Amino acid sequence: MDNKVVFKVAQILQALQIPALRFNFRGVGRSSGSYDEGRGEMDDVRYALDFLSHRYPGLPVILAGFSFGAYVGLRVGAVDGRVRALIGLGVPARSFDGDTLQGCTKPKLIIHGTRDEVAPYALTVRWFEQLPAPKTMIAVEGADHFFQGRLDEVQTIIASFVQTL
């Protein structure tokens, strides 16, 4: 929640008048519980969506996630009717199984650094090619996993995507 990528994504969404909720998964920071290899964390995303739905009834959701948060968030957002569009940054493609997101026809934006040392760019490209349309992948040339020095560019990419929805 406190990393710069998550902060900058929330910042640009709020600037676009889209409410943003940042939260820690179970067992992270001061959150209770413990890591559950994505299963329980999917519940965390659902609880966050419940909160947003009650706080902003009828407002469509753009679900954005970074790294492990992208892995969990994209899986939940692909099937949750409240979610209108998906954004994944630094997506750990190796974590997805073969059919994940295959039925998802929601707009998807994937932003990935070409020098991502955590989630290799080439694996993400191969995973992205299997996703159903509509989809967009933007490579941030030379960026690492945390988009060091490139977060303004990431914000511009997100703003352009959101304005097309």
Distances (CA, A) of 24 to 35, 66, 118, 137, 151: 11, 12, 20, 26, 21
d(CA 159, CA 101): 23
Paired with 136 in beta bridges are 109
8 Å CB contact between 19 and 162: no
pLDDT at residue number 17: 93
pLDDT at residue number 97: 76
Q: Note the pTM of the prediction, 2 decimals.
A: 0.93
pLDDT at residue number 29: 57
The fold of 4-21+61-163 is Rossmann fold (3.40.50)
pLDDT at residue number 21: 94
Domains of the chain, residue spans: 4-21+61-163
pLDDT in tens, the chain (165 residues): 679 999 999 999 999 999 999 887 655 656 566 655 666 789 999 999 999 999 999 888 999 999 999 999 999 999 999 999 999 999 999 998 776 798 999 999 999 999 999 999 999 999 999 999 999 999 999 999 999 999 999 999 999 999 999
